[in-house]
Amino acid sequence: MVEDRTYLMSRIFSSSRLSESKWPYMYPQPEDSSESNLINGKRALENDVDELRQSKSPRLMGFSIHGNEAIEEDEQEQDQSDSNNNGNSDGDSLINDIGRDNSISCLIRCSRSGYGSIASLNRSFRSLVKTGEIYRLRRQNQIVEHWVYFSCQLLEWVAFNPFERRWMNLPTMPSGVTFMCADKESLAVGTDLLVLGKDDYSSHVIYRYSLLTNSWSSGMRMNSPRCLFGSASLGEIAIFAGGFDSFGKISDSAEMYNSELQTWTTLPKMNKPRKMCSGVFMDGKFYVIGGIGGNDSKVLTCGEEFDLETKKWTEIPEMSPPRSREMPAAAEAPPLVAVVNNELYAADHADMEVRKYDKESKKWFTLGRLPERADSVNGWGLAFRACGERLIVIGGPRSSGGGYIELNSWIPSSDRSPPLWTLLGRKHSSNFVYNCAVMGC
């Protein structure tokens, strides 16, 4: 963050001309519960968001549009306000005293939890946030803030801001009964959260949550719809590989999704068809790991690397984390893997251990233990994700009438030091984690 420019943000928020009650672009509601927040002294980015917390809407994270009339009325009032102040305001400059470029340089370094307040200042600020331009500029300048999105109830999603350690509720997903009860998969890419599944038992559907509008809509269908695939995102693109189609055939196809264009591009086929696999980006390349394949549907221990420049797949033997227990292939969850700082990690749900992949020797070694409350059913219900420079684990015991889940975090070092987990949040839940995704923007 740019600490010497903090005073600029104070001036911005103190000069806001729109009252919060008239601001039509409202964000998800935060949960107000003593069980929902853990505060342990100063936290990462706290100094950077102190000014934002004093603003009109300190817990904002995205905006939705509630009624055209409200929008038109608000924009008319803003137009009139801008017109009345045309002698002291330059819409293209954002912050008139320092010019547009310096304004943007400041704004992209603010926590995105304050972008709702920023958008309320004038048309230029609103356009910068509403169109997603501010997130594109952040990405170009390698400024990324990661939030965790997960679901423990049918059609219900929550977001967790690890910097402020705050929970927020997303709008309820629209869906048919079949989709609601079917297995679903999720991935965050750009400012989109995609939830994929089946409707009418055969039709593959995608629901898309947009951070820019705080709303759900139907997403563009894949060229070759599938389930139980491996996937990962890098900025505004994501790759989906393998899985099985509507006829139950294991697939060797792959597709790339562009969240800004909302388009799908078919990629070259993999060397092996596979389903129930996992995907990661590492060193700028996409990797699909493990899964089930072949005529006898056996567990695959290999992985495949896709080079985005050459458009070629390369098979990598023994890249899948070793299994500590023998069980039917379809009974176990896909490999629980994540990449932090271009290093590959895995969670062994059976032995409750964390492992790391040595890229030179192409072997796995054990680092230490998972958090105590990271129970699962053969790996199902346990989320193991990369969240910026952190590894996060979401899980916990569950019972029929109550229980809770915990979100633990660890920042890996460059050596082989064992994990030291930090509890970031705890939440009451009678179910385990159905789906989880990390949005970095």
Taking alpha carbons only, the member of 182, 240, 175 closest to residue 209 is 175
Q: Rounded distance, CA 116 to CA 130, Å?
A: 9
pTM of the full predicted structure?
A: 0.81
Query: What's the pLDDT score for residue 161?
Result: 95
- Sheet containing 363-369: give its strands across: 337-340, 343-348, 353-358, 363-369
* Consecutive H or E run containing 80: helix 68-84
386-400 exposure pattern, b = at least 16 Cβ within 10 A, e = fewer: bbbebbbbbbbebee
Cα pseudo-dihedral 210, 246, 200, 434, rounded to 10: -50
Q: Which residues contact 196 (CB under 8 A, 6 or more apart)?
A: 184, 185, 186, 187, 204, 205, 206, 207, 227
Q: Rounded distance, CA 421 to CA 412, Å?
A: 10
Q: Rounded distance, CA 55 to CA 182, Å?
A: 42
Q: What share of the chain is helix, strand, coil (3-state, %, to 5)?
A: 20, 35, 45
Q: How far is CA 49 from the centre of its chain?
A: 21
pLDDT digit string (tens) for the chain, length 441 residues: 333 433 334 333 333 333 333 333 334 555 644 444 443 433 333 334 343 333 333 333 333 323 333 333 444 444 444 444 444 444 456 777 788 888 889 899 999 888 888 888 888 888 899 899 999 999 999 999 999 999 988 889 999 999 999 999 999 998 777 777 778 899 999 999 999 988 776 688 999 999 999 999 999 999 999 999 999 999 999 999 999 988 889 999 999 999 999 999 999 999 999 999 999 999 999 999 999 997 778 899 999 999 999 999 999 999 999 987 777 777 889 999 999 999 999 999 889 999 999 999 999 999 999 998 777 788 888 999 999 999 999 987 655 455 888 999 999 998 889 999 999 999 888 788 899 999 999
Map residue 125 onto helix, strand or coil: helix
Q: Rounded distance, CA 162 to CA 145, Å?
A: 9
Domains, the chain, with CATH or none: 3-140 (no CATH), 146-440 (2.120.10.80)
The tokens for 286 are 């996409």
Q: Rounded distance, CA 1 to CA 419, Å?
A: 28
Q: Rounded distance, CA 215 to CA 124, Å?
A: 22
Contact 286, 279 (CB under 8 A): yes
Taking alpha carbons only, the member of 167, 289, 184 closest to residue 239 is 289
Question: Could you give the C-alpha distances from 249 to 73, 287, 292, 297, 359, in angstroms and in order?
Answer: 54, 21, 12, 11, 32
Query: What's the pLDDT score for residue 251?
Result: 94
Backbone angles phi, psi at 335, to 5 degrees: -50, 130
Q: Rounded distance, CA 417 to CA 368, Å?
A: 8
The tokens for 46 are 């706290």
* Consecutive H or E run containing 76: helix 68-84
The residue behind tokens 């895995």 is 346
Q: Residue 328: what residue type? A: P
Q: Could you give the maximum distance between any two Cα atoms of the chain, in Å?
A: 75
